[in-house]
């Protein structure tokens, strides 16, 4: 029996992913959010590939991840999302 049979790894969440999606909504005009799935996904992927992951699974981990939203990490998320928007052309 493997680990995947023993444990529910779907409980692990990358808090950076949530932050990047929220930041994309903040930085992009509302009309750019619709009918641009491939571009939006490319933007999110670019930003996530340039950020340190922030995984959580426990309540304590989620509390720590929540603190990331106000510090240096949040600034890095904003920077990477802005960079993605500049570098990746709309499709």
Determine the pLDDT at residue 71.
Answer: 83
pLDDT in tens, 25-60: 999 999 888 889 999 999 999 999 999 988 888 777
H/E segment holding residue 87: helix 72-87
Determine the pLDDT at residue 17.
Answer: 94
pLDDT in tens, 60-79: 766 666 677 778 989 999 99
Segments making up each domain of the chain, as ranges = 12-87
């Amino acid at each position: 029996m493997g680990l995947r049979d023993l444990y529910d790894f779907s409980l692990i969440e990358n808090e950076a992913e949530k932050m990047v999606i929220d930041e994309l909504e903040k930085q992009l005009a509302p009309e750019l959010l619709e009918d641009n799935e491939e571009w939006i996904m490319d933007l999110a992927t670019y930003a996530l590939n340039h950020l340190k992951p922030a995984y959580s699974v426990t309540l304590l981990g989620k509390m720590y991840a929540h603190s990331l939203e106000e510090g240096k990490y949040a600034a890095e998320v904003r920077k990477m999302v802005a960079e993605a928007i500049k570098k990746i052309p709309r499709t």
